[in-house]
């Protein structure tokens, strides 16, 4: 018997917006953290892929990102929208230390996975999100949203860099559950959705036997009577 695989949690639209708004752009660390959250949440990058991103890996005109030597030692391309690309452009110009890595500490040293994980949890707590938020949950959220928008599992597979589509099929189950919930609750409690009553029986009298209609003379009402 196949082992049941637990479906991962994902963020709602409101939680996504709250998380990205948590880091304040006034501080360099806030700007950097928002960029990292954006890459995981809006481009599906793994934690290690976001931390290893080089300046040369970004096409600063088109918004294409080349993810070098991702899981399975394979390269893949992803794209950013104009708003997210502008956010990264501003960070590139603002970095306190010039480095081939796009993201470092303020002293220019590499950021490790543990520090990134703690940052994600801290920002999620500040955003008021009660879930256990970690970098891979952001990737799950991206994949689920992409599948909902496209219903193309092969496209999601390519974007995530999965070697086997069976890994990506997980996200179809997430969407199937959402569809099932939506359909079960559709018009729940709406009186218009109640089952119709029994059909009425035939009229006992035919139209021919109905009494003739009496034409009524309209009554004129005086202003005092109204």
Residues carrying an active site annotation: 46, 71, 136, 139, 162, 171
- Burial of 61-96, coded b for 16+ CB within 10 Å and e otherwise, reads eebebebeebeeeeebebebeeebbebbeebeeebe
Q: How far is CA 55 from CA 58, 84, 174, 175, 223, in A?
A: 6, 15, 34, 35, 86
Listed in sequence order, the residues at least 6 apart from 219 whose beta carbon sits closer than 8 Å to its beta carbon are none
Burial of 122 from C-beta contacts in 10 A (0-12 / 13-18 / 19+): middle
- CB-based contact 112:118 (threshold 8 Å): no
- CB-based contact 85:174 (threshold 8 Å): no
CA 138 to CA 46: how far, in whole Å?
A: 9
């Amino acid at each position: 018997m196949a082992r049941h695989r637990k479906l991962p949690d994902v963020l709602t639209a409101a939680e996504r917006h709250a998380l990205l708004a948590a880091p304040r752009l006034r501080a360099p660390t806030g700007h950097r953290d928002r960029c990292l959250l954006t890459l995981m949440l809006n481009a599906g990058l793994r934690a290690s892929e976001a931390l290893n991103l080089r300046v040369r890996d970004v096409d600063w005109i088109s918004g294409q990102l080349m993810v070098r030597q991702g899981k399975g030692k394979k390269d893949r391309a992803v794209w950013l929208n104009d708003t997210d690309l502008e956010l990264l452009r501003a960070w590139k110009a603002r970095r306190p230390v010039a480095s081939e890595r796009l993201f470092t500490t303020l002293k220019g040293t590499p950021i490790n996975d543990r520090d990134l994980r703690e940052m994600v949890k801290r920002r999620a707590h500040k955003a008021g999100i009660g879930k256990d938020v970690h970098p891979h949950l952001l990737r799950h959220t991206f994949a689920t949203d992409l599948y909902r928008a496209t219903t193309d599992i092969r496209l999601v597979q390519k974007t995530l860099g999965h070697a086997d589509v069976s890994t990506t099929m997980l996200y179809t189950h997430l969407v199937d559950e959402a569809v099932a919930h939506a359909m079960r609750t559709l018009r729940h409690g709406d009186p218009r959705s109640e089952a119709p009553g029994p059909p009425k029986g035939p009229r006992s009298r035919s139209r021919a036997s109905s009494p003739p209609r009496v034409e009524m003379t309209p009554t004129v009402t005086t202003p005092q009577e109204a």
